[in-house]
Structure 1
Amino acid sequence: MDDGWGLSAQPLPPADPIDPDSAYESVLRYEQRAAHLRAHGPITHIVAARVLGYLLLHPVSPVGRERVAADVSYCCEVDARLYRLGLLYVKYFIHTFRSKTVAPSDPEAAAPPRKVALDEYIEACKGPENVHYKAKTLLRDDFRCTITGYADTASVERGLIQSSTTNVSVKVAEFLPRSKITRESVAVLHRLGALPDARSHDPHTPRNLVAVSEPIQLAMNKLRLCLEPVPGLSHGPNEGTHPTRYCLTGPRGAPRDCLSEIVLRPFEDPRTGLSVPPPDPIFIRTHAVCCRVAHLSGANDALSKLYASILATSVLEEDGSSASLLHGALSLLAG
């Protein structure tokens, strides 16, 4: 699958000579100087420069791009300022979306399945959007993995869906990780244009969730896979209320058994009045931008190495050789 991501971190492409951009050209000059600059942690100056550059090339929104460009210009090509700005986006954007492990399973998943009528299930899902949001997500996505179309094993055993050729354990994946949302990350997401209002956000709804198999959930959590609109498809202002088509993409390519196009539909039940919206396109796009920027800049690899080092190190070295590891961990954990 050739999606233009490459197989490793990529240098920033040259500036457009026809349409010059002072902010991007400033980042390019910073990238050239970065090879000779030393950072006190796992995020190098080169990674910081490329994070800024790829955020300008692949913005979440036009408004977000303008804000990033303004921040870059405000740094006045001072390397220390540009580094702190790049580190800010690594810490409160990429690190926010990057999970070290797959999300823990629900305690209910271990309980013996109980036969449930579909009408009874739908009736139990009634209520505000942020109530029973996981159950509503499974209902909306037809108790299947949205990416492969395979039926959920537990839902088959409960009698909610017919068995498919292959049954899998279906989990509810988050585009915006709820457990890692902080005041600072909300402010950064708002600045990138991912949240229209920094004061009001609720990722505890089906708008932020999609039903996928466990391996795909893990890959999405590690920013290896994401959903992107099908090329050439027009996405208008009413895209959140109509079926919207996406394809699975990422630096590792799509799994062989995934659907060529993923259609995200709302769920409507006129009998009970239950309505479950599809995933919000802005959440999907923000996750996709984070995945692309994290991979192309090398930030995802740097975070992977940091997480692995933290897990493998139980005691810090007496000679101080673990100082960079400690600094990297504290810089990400500090609020």
Structure 2
Amino acid sequence: MDTSTQTPFEWETITKTSLPALESPRFRESGLHKLPNAVSMYERILQGEARAIQDEANENIMLARVVGHLVLELYARRGILGNRPCETIIDEVMRSPTGYGDGDNVVFEVGRQYRDHLIRGFRTSTELYRYPSPSLHPSRPSYDKLEDMTRDLTKPSGKDYRTTRKKALARDGFRCMITGYFDRRSLKYSAELQRMKETLNGISLNIETSHILNESTTQGVGTGEESSVVNKTHFAPGVMAILRQFGLEHLSLALEAVDGVHQIWNLLSLELNLHSDLGRFNLWFESTGEPNCYKVCVSDMTIEQHIRRISTRPETSGSGAPLAVEFRSDLQGAPPPDPQLLALHATCARVAHMSGATEFFDRLEWEAEETNVLAPDGSSAHLLSSLMSPYAYIQEVT
């Protein structure tokens, strides 16, 4: 199919969820108005949305809604993330419009920044980062005790993906963290694990190791002394700059280190379908208020029905109570998934669906797959710009 003559990004379904009005119960009950300048900031966002609707500018409608929903969702998770993320967005929206035209354009540019860097950083849309599945222990065919295999795999022996993938599997009991499926590759190394599977009448298949924050976000970070100096001053790959502006420097520093994105607290063990759902924002985790306990949230009830039907864990099977999981670890050097990263992923997932960014990313990927050659008349410029924007450097606000 030749798409070179098509007008890029003619989306019909990306602008479904309007921002709540300033006087609406959702905004008043959110408590966001208690922050300094929050009301003025939100009024400016609503004005940008209204202007975009009047101009029938679908992308600008989406960008305004990205900012509006994002600040509301971040404030709802202030118990985990603090107030700094919302304060950052308030400052950005309320800054002088010099260089952006008017206030509406500031809103659109802020929305574009967070769509292309933060939200996209937590979304894994393709299989570009699949790795060959490593054998658990090439020098030993099996372990007499599951405890021995777990201890061996969690020894501090590196932070590359192959090493931390093994640690994550061991931390998670060599099972999918939601369904309880056993990792097929691990079973052949432990008779005890095989007996456990048989006792529980379990199911086995290859368990995937999922990144909460997409691996591609740290490409080119921490690869040399010179680049490290630059990244830590005024510029940084988008999501890292945003983490720092949000007051999450400890996360950005750890992730910017060589192979830092493979930190075990950025990894989840999930069966293949749920692995894909997590990456495409069809699955996320909301804190219950109890340490390491989360509600499993999905974008489509068929996913929940699928989980309940196939799960071998009592907390995610059957019907009735909300799906819940506990991410725990008693293993030294193998902490559970980071609650702040999970909160940011949940925020991005909800904002992506409410703003229409999910459809934007889907359409962008479809356009990229269908377009083999850029059009000579320049009509592919928007596509190229959108594909390249996550890899651009952004200036941090000081």
TM-score, structure 2 as length reference: 0.70
* Residues in 2 aligned to 1:328 and 1:203: alpha-carbon distance in whole angstroms: 23
- 5+ unaligned residues in a row in structure 2: which ranges? 1-13, 34-38, 222-235, 309-315, 317-322, 394-398
> Secondary structure of 2:70's partner?
helix
> Secondary structure of 1:173's partner?
strand
Amino acid at match of 1:72: V
> Is the alpha carbon distance of 1:318 and 1:200 closer, same or farther for their aligned partners in structure 2, counting shifts above 3 Å?
closer
**1:12 equivalent in structure 2:** 19
**Pairing 1:106–2:127 present:** no
TM-score, structure 1 as length reference: 0.82
| CA deviation vs aligned residue, 1:130-162 (integer Å, no higher than 9, x gap) | 363211111111111001111111122222623
**1:325 equivalent in structure 2:** 383
In the TM superposition, 1:274-293 aligns within 5 A as 274-293=332-351
Q: CA deviation at 1:293?
A: 1.0
| CA deviation vs aligned residue, 1:100-128 (integer Å, no higher than 9, x gap) | 21441334269999433431442243116
Amino acid at match of 1:69: I
Q: Which moved more, 1:169-178 or 1:125-134?
A: 125-134
In the TM superposition, 1:7-156 aligns within 5 A as 9-16=16-23, 20=33, 21-37=39-55, 44-59=59-74, 61=81, 62-75=83-96, 78-102=103-127, 103-108=129-134, 114-117=141-144, 118=146, 119-127=148-156, 130=159, 132-156=163-187
Picking from 255, 258, 264, the partner of 2:304 is 255
Q: Which moved more, 1:286-295 or 1:158-167?
A: 158-167
> Is the alpha carbon distance of 1:195 and 1:247 closer, same or farther for their aligned partners in structure 2, counting shifts above 3 Å?
farther
> Secondary structure of 1:24's partner?
helix
Sequence identity percentage: 27
Q: CA deviation at 1:197?
A: 5.9
**1:4 equivalent in structure 2:** none
> Secondary structure of 1:35's partner?
helix
Q: Which moved more, 1:23-32 or 1:9-18?
A: 9-18
Q: CA deviation at 1:314?
A: 0.4
* Residues in 2 aligned to 1:133 and 1:292: alpha-carbon distance in whole angstroms: 29
> Secondary structure of 1:265's partner?
coil
**Pairing 1:166–2:203 present:** yes
* Residues in 2 aligned to 1:24 and 1:129: alpha-carbon distance in whole angstroms: 46
Q: Which moved more, 1:91-100 or 1:14-23?
A: 14-23
Residues 225 and 250 of structure 1 are in contact (CA less than 8 Å); yes or no, is this contact kept in structure 2? yes
> Is the alpha carbon distance of 1:147 and 1:75 closer, same or farther for their aligned partners in structure 2, counting shifts above 3 Å?
farther
In the TM superposition, 1:136-285 aligns within 5 A as 136-159=167-190, 161-162=193-194, 163=197, 164-181=201-218, 183-184=236-237, 185-196=239-250, 198-201=252-255, 202-230=260-288, 234-235=289-290, 239=291, 244-253=292-301, 254-256=303-305, 257-258=307-308, 259=316, 260-268=323-331, 274-285=332-343
* Residues in 2 aligned to 1:37 and 1:63: alpha-carbon distance in whole angstroms: 33
Residues 267 and 275 of structure 1 are in contact (CA less than 8 Å); yes or no, is this contact kept in structure 2? no
Amino acid at match of 1:24: Y
> Is the alpha carbon distance of 1:298 and 1:34 closer, same or farther for their aligned partners in structure 2, counting shifts above 3 Å?
same
* Residues in 2 aligned to 1:298 and 1:197: alpha-carbon distance in whole angstroms: 28
Amino acid at match of 2:20: P
The structure carrying a bigger helix percent of its residues is: 2
Q: CA deviation at 1:323?
A: 3.4
**1:271 equivalent in structure 2:** none
RMSD, aligned α-carbons: 2.8
